Amino acid sequence: MSRSIESMLGLLKIRVKRGIDLVVSDTFSSDPYVVVTQGKQKLKTKVVSNNCNPVWNEDLTLPIRDPSIPVQLTVYDKDTFSVDDEMGYANIDIKPYMDCIKMGLENLPNGCTIKKLQPTKENCLLEESGIIWNNGKITQDMALKLQNVASGVVEIRLEWLDV
């Protein structure tokens, strides 16, 4: 079954800001990059060599058709002679963000908090995350605690792009 452009709700821009205290995958460091997947869609950042606290500041744009399909962020260590090592993952819960988009808000004061989300076992948030009205756009900054590893946090920002 093919999906046409009409079924797309819009574009979700995920700014992958930086990683903090990522695990060492090679002898002394790691060469991390981030892969964001939703269903069959897969986007990735550039590799930052020899750095367990990488700064990517890279925008990945996902066409959103079904907000109930989970978005997963996975950090990998780039290896030259073997399969890249997984350095943890986090599920990005976009449902609360999408609920705020659907409200059709306009003309709010800049910096106005629409909703605050608390960390739970289900959402991978390291700390409280606010969904904010920012210069005519709704944004959400998140610090995601990586799962299945000893340490690691990835900071991202969500921003909706209408099509």
* Cβ-defined contacts of 83-88 (< 8 Å, 24+): 85/25, 86/148, 87/22, 87/23, 87/25, 87/30, 87/32, 87/146, 87/149, 87/152, 88/22, 88/23, 88/146, 88/147, 88/148, 88/149, 88/152
Q: What is the pLDDT of residues 7-60, one digit of tens each?
A: 889 999 999 999 999 999 888 899 999 999 999 999 999 999 999 999 999 999
For residue 5, pLDDT beyond 90: no
Domains of the chain (ranges; CATH) run 5-104+141-161 (2.60.40.150)
| Average pLDDT estimate for 107-116 | 94
Q: Which residues pair with 142 in a beta bridge?
A: 156
The enclosing H or E element of 132 equals strand 129-134
Q: How far apart are alpha carbons 38 and 62 in whole angstroms?
A: 8
Average pLDDT estimate for 72-92: 95
Confidence of residue 2 (pLDDT cuts 50, 70, 90): very low
Q: Please report which confidence band the pLDDT of residue 1 belongs to, taking 50, 70 and 90 as the band edges.
A: very low
